[in-house]
């Protein structure tokens, strides 16, 4: 999807952020390709050493399982940076909701349209909107939340996630 619509995505990012997105789109494509190349290996059961306190003679395997529903919240300044978290979550068998940034409206509109065109909405949905939509999403229960952005918003996300003990992955920057 990203590779097929690379030029449209680059144009949308340029429209919103007034910068070239060649590196960003190429990086997203490379990361998704890497994921696809290793998908079978990473999702395969792995034989583990039997712990000393096990009395069974059976082999022990680590079997990857999906967590459930993942919320991925995209940043405004590098909106395609979330390709790794959402592609990884999908590849692991999770359902994904991608919250796009209201500060990159051209990209958000394009990407939401592409997601709805390429994916079953029960598997992967993109949500556009601002603070009210994000707040409404955070009132729902998720099995994992990934956020890239500033520490101020991260605190809000952590507070919401704590209500259900939802694991959160944060990639923070910004000045606050």
- Contact residues for 135 (Cβ-Cβ < 8 A; gap 6+): none
Per-residue confidence band for 175, with pLDDT thresholds at 50, 70 and 90: low
pLDDT of residue 76: 87
Choosing among 3.30.70.100, 3.40.50.720, 3.40.605.10, 3.30.2350.10, the CATH entry for 5-42+65-172 is 3.40.605.10
Confidence (pTM): 0.88
* 154, 172 Cβ separation under 8 angstroms: yes
pLDDT tens across 52-99, in order? 777 777 788 999 999 999 999 999 888 888 889 999 999 999 999 999
Neighbour tally for 166: CB within 10 Å:
20
Sequence ranges of the domains in the chain = 5-42+65-172
């Amino acid at each position: 999807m990203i590779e097929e619509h690379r030029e449209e995505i680059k144009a949308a990012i340029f429209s919103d952020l007034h910068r070239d997105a060649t590196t960003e789109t190429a990086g997203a494509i490379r990361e998704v390709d890497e994921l696809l190349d290793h998908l079978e290996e990473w999702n395969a059961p792995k034989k583990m050493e039997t712990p000393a306190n096990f009395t069974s003679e059976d082999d022990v395997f680590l079997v990857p399982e999906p967590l459930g529903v993942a919320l991925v919240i995209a940043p405004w300044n590098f909106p395609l940076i979330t390709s790794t978290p959402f592609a990884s979550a999908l590849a692991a068998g999770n359902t994904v909701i991608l919250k796009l940034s209201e500060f990159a409206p051209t990209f958000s509109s394009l990407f939401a349209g592409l997601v709805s065109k390429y994916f079953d909405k029960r598997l992967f949905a993109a949500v556009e909107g601002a603070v009210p939509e994000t707040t409404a999403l955070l009132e729902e229960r998720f099995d994992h939340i990934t956020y890239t952005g500033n520490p101020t918003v991260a605190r809000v996300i952590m507070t919401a996630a704590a209500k259900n003990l939802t694991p959160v992955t944060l990639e923070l920057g910004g000045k606050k």
